[in-house]
Amino acid sequence: MRHHIVLRVIAKMLVPVILLFALYVQFHGDYGPGGGFQAGVIFAAGVILYSLVFGLEAGMQAVPPEILRPLAAVGVLLYGGVGVATLLLGGAYLDYDVLAHDPVHGQHLGILLVELGVGITVASVLTLVYFAFAGRPALSKEEQQ
């Protein structure tokens, strides 16, 4: 893609906007459509667009797979950890009411953390899957036959 100057310029302009939009969808999911899952997918799409245009190595340098691998588990642990925290605070598993003094505030906090966990896991798993596929060498014409 080294010679596609238009693609490179447009992608360079679009990638930050896509990542920012993903964060908006992530943290505005309580009020508008969207949530952790959609935000994670959009974030991964931004990273994938970057690696498509600037090459896989550049993508892996910006978002190292060694960091993504533990992050995929961190998301699920954050989700489960909120449940354990509610247990320790005297509520049922994933009963966010006990997280703050006011049950409604507790619900807000719980949903925010849980959705963040979903977003982290989805974004890192999808990016890792793309890296795993794209890292394999492409087949030559003879092999395709």
Partner 1 sequence: MSFILEVFLLAFLTVAALAILRMRDLFAITMLFSLFSLLSAGLFTVMDAADVAFTEAAVGAGISTILMLVTLTQSAREEKPGFHRSPVLPLVVVWITGGALLYGTRDLPTRGDPAAPVHTHVAPRYLEATDEEIGIPNVVTAVLASYRGYDTLGETTVILTAGIGVLALLGIPHRRRRKQDDEE
User: If binding is defined by CB under 8 A, does position 44 make contact with partner 1?
Assistant: yes
User: If binding is defined by CB under 8 A, does position 64 make contact with partner 1?
Assistant: yes
Helices (H), the chain: 5-27, 36-54, 56-62, 65-88, 103-134, 141-144
Are 97 and 107 in contact by the 8 Å Cβ rule? The answer is: yes
User: If binding is defined by CB under 8 A, does position 139 make contact with partner 1?
Assistant: yes
Which tokens in the block code for residue 145? Answer: 């036959």
User: If binding is defined by CB under 8 A, does position 135 make contact with partner 1?
Assistant: yes
As a whole number of angstroms, the distance between CA 1 and CA 7 comes to: 8
User: If binding is defined by CB under 8 A, does position 91 make contact with partner 1?
Assistant: no
> Which position among 11, 47, 99, 125 is part of the footprint of partner 1 (CB under 8 A)?
125
As a whole number of angstroms, the distance between CA 77 and CA 81 comes to: 6
Alpha carbon 113 to chain centroid distance? 14
For partner 1, the closer of residues 16 and 64 by Cβ is: 64
Binding residues vs partner 1 (CB under 8 A): 25, 29-38, 41-42, 44-45, 48, 52, 57, 60-61, 64-66, 69, 72-73, 75-76, 79-80, 83, 93-94, 96, 103-104, 107-108, 110-111, 114-115, 117-118, 121-122, 124-126, 128-136, 138-139, 144-145
